[in-house]
Structure 1
């Protein structure tokens, strides 16, 4: 008789976040979320907080803010007005996706019962023809599908579909999937060459439909996703024609990332999914050009995306302000999603590098250490006023963080016909199915990102011949590898995967050493906000200086010598255990003093007077978890002192 845990493992064995197992143009197949057990000191506490604090807290918020009552109202079980924003349904769906991925990793009868209750509430709100959106019930029925540009109907549908696929893969239950299929079929019947022409102002449904096709085998959903991307740039009555929602040009002609950052990155993710299924070269060329523009002109050093508050949008090339950076948490998550899809297609380390940078900096900063407060925006400088909040009227970011963290085990590895690919260095135990049908166990031991030593041990009941691909981050100059204690003599190139092909036996181990040197990086000269400034990094982590660690120092008066000598200091008692970086810096005496002089005055040359101070920097992701105070990522540098 099977145990509950064994049943859980059987149900969840296909629980891949993006299932490219049968995608003809994808190079990699991801592992199931359930196949990877994270047990390291950095991520395990965060994932446990996500499971035990964040997900329950967000359920309470969905209940308290009327999001669940909107579904009860739509089914006739609640007497009252619609509550909140017209896109509030999507927050419930993202919460369900987070809860489902959590169940894939950790059985939880209470959470599973709660999930089924919410699914029942949602199902009761669905109409006979499959339509489901609680905003467009009763008095708003005549408005359905009439304002695609603004009102997010397809966006909400996309999040429902993604959550239903996650629930099916995590639990084996089809209760939610059946609802999603009925809704998707309604969309297919409604939109198309013989139906409504147009697409949602907020892309999202495209990647959801492709994932539903992967889950059900119904290729109509891929065709519908392609129909939606083909509508952009066609000057249709229901569309905007603007860069804000990427409707300014046909997707195959777009070469610059523009408009609302989350919308853009969700669209590019969907286009990448479609390419994985169709192999259309024009889509691949567009996606590659857009990625190059993003990574070389418009991404923040933290992986953050979106420079402008106006339109939550990308700015011009090299427009990357710091204190006014918008860098929405959802945009960073969207970047992770896009880079993951590109990695599965192309098997290139540049995408995993970008994913890792964004995960450890642009995403992780979006949630507090206690798991109950969130940033909507993630600036790279602050005067002490920007603080995380428990919830928002537009609450897209909190459940987005929760679903990414809950699904994180599915991002560590993937497989190909050649063998196993290691993308992220996080201590874990993984069950890996090889192409020959054999399953091996891989145990990864590391204290990354604080230390650069990584050990992978293979356990197998019989010898297995395959390649192990290890990612060497682009910053890891001087990385080294040993296999069973013997030095690996092959080429080790930063920014690539090292392939180790051999017959593996039980107990074989590989040791990877990644030098974690402190690095000072400067911007391209066209980023005018960072002129003569540097950022401090170590491994994948971007560092910042925060007022609380540097009392009495005006952070705007700090100047770093070009040859700063940095010391890494372990602080196990601070903020859950971190490593700070310290160096002697120069404090501009006149800037640090109270200045009562006139606002404008005659110019005169004055040689600056400096005093030496000890400067302490902390990882950017952890800032604003203590008392309010100023923060800076980019610090002035003087090459002549």
Structure 2
């Protein structure tokens, strides 16, 4: 969590109240409610998630001798679960040193770095399982998404421990990505189908002060949805696929249906959207870009007034794990993914730093207390992936999921 300090702009009562973030290490949580929650996270949730990842094969499925058909069969995005766990554990270590937890973090980091390639590339699936398909399907596969979570883990770990092993490896990877993507001749014009790296690169810029990472984040945001041609169309044709075969049928699903500055409505996959617009808000701040800020305002207003549950839940449909039409907010079939609520807190917090409008704080609190905290049991060992507002007694928290993005995110 992050606190903010507000400062008035002298001589202009209409100017936004800009703020600067305060590190979570500078805050102290007291009182039974939050203190018990954070204690549960440290003592129960982090160890439980690590055990589940071990049992599920996260650390064994990517062996160097892996071959097709060997079990456990890995998921293309499994490593992002490990990265998110490292990030969460690092936040805990920053305020509550724990030698046993730190040893597990070091072990997880060593595992992730085992397969880093000489050029800096660091992705487990496309090194061990399908190396020939590197960067061939940014729309559907999660290469840059996984890179983003790895970057965020590295930043958190470096800030918590001062150790450079992971941050140095990640900078090598980010340099490779920067050399691969962009508008310059010889570079790919692509961007990820699941947004995340845009926000992560800004965090990396904050700790390294390397302008290239900020510019790369800006590129990924600005390139999204530009035509002609649409990058995902080009990719599909290169893979020999028909454009009509895209299961979602619309690029609204991943917010690439039009350039970012032309978007005014909240559409598509909810988690993707929250991560994207968190990055857009960060870029608006870093670049002092009023157009990006106005885009964020328009889309946040559309979400808040027409497509957000009273609980702060975002995304009404299981079909696209996201948004449908205005005011389509059924209770019993609400999707309201836990990760989307987390993303909404992140986005609203960044908008609050741009302008101290109480509505951003209200929605942060709304989503945090109703959409995020509901994602984990009080003892921190079972989880909700989705959060319907109505149940007939059949919806219960689970110990784990095959697609386990939410538990480590909490």
TM-score by length of 2: 0.88
CA distance in 1, matches of 2:119, 2:199: 23
The answer on whether the counterparts of 2:61 and 2:74 sit within 8 Å (CA) in structure 1 is no
Of stretches 241-250 and 230-239 in structure 1, the one that deviates more from structure 2 is 230-239
| 1:209, distance to aligned residue in structure 2 (A) | 0.4
Provide the residue aligned with 1:66 in structure 2. 57
How do 1:199-214 and structure 2 match up within 5 A? 199-214=191-206
| 1:17, distance to aligned residue in structure 2 (A) | 9.5
Of 13, 20, 25, the match for 1:34: 25
**Residue deviations 1:514-536 (CA, integer Å, cap 9, x gap):** xxxxxxxxxxxxxxxxxxxxxxx
CA distance in 1, matches of 2:117, 2:2: 30
CA distance in 2, matches of 1:252, 1:191: 21
Q: In 2 relative to 1, CA 162–16 (structure 1 residues): closer, same or farther, beyond 3 Å?
A: farther
1:285 aligns with 2:282: no
1:245 aligns with 2:254: yes
How do 1:39-188 and structure 2 match up within 5 A? 39-70=30-61, 73-74=63-64, 83-188=73-178
| 1:347, distance to aligned residue in structure 2 (A) | 2.4
Provide the residue aligned with 1:269 in structure 2. 278
**Residue deviations 1:91-114 (CA, integer Å, cap 9, x gap):** 000000010000112111111111
CA distance in 2, matches of 1:347, 1:106: 31
Provide the residue aligned with 1:613 in structure 2. none
| 1:357, distance to aligned residue in structure 2 (A) | 1.0
CA distance in 2, matches of 1:66, 1:311: 27
SS in 2 for 1:184: helix
Q: In 2 relative to 1, CA 117–32 (structure 1 residues): closer, same or farther, beyond 3 Å?
A: same
CA distance in 1, matches of 2:71, 2:218: 36
Provide the residue aligned with 2:9 in structure 1. none
CA distance in 1, matches of 2:3, 2:120: 25
Equivalences, count: 380
Larger Rg: 1
| 1:84, distance to aligned residue in structure 2 (A) | 2.7
TM-score by length of 1: 0.57
CA RMSD of superposed structures (Å): 2.2
| 1:325, distance to aligned residue in structure 2 (A) | 0.4
The answer on whether the counterparts of 1:329 and 1:375 sit within 8 Å (CA) in structure 2 is yes
| 1:18, distance to aligned residue in structure 2 (A) | 11
**Residue deviations 1:1-23 (CA, integer Å, cap 9, x gap):** xxxxxxxxxxxxxx979999xxx
The answer on whether the counterparts of 2:382 and 2:399 sit within 8 Å (CA) in structure 1 is yes
Q: Structure 2: give runs of 5+ residues left out of the alignment.
A: 7-15, 237-245
Q: In 2 relative to 1, CA 82–276 (structure 1 residues): closer, same or farther, beyond 3 Å?
A: farther
Question: Larger helix proportion, structure 1 or 2?
Answer: 2
CA distance in 1, matches of 2:25, 2:283: 26
SS in 2 for 1:30: strand
Provide the residue aligned with 1:475 in structure 2. none
Q: Structure 1: give runs of 5+ residues left out of the alignment.
A: 1-14, 402-641
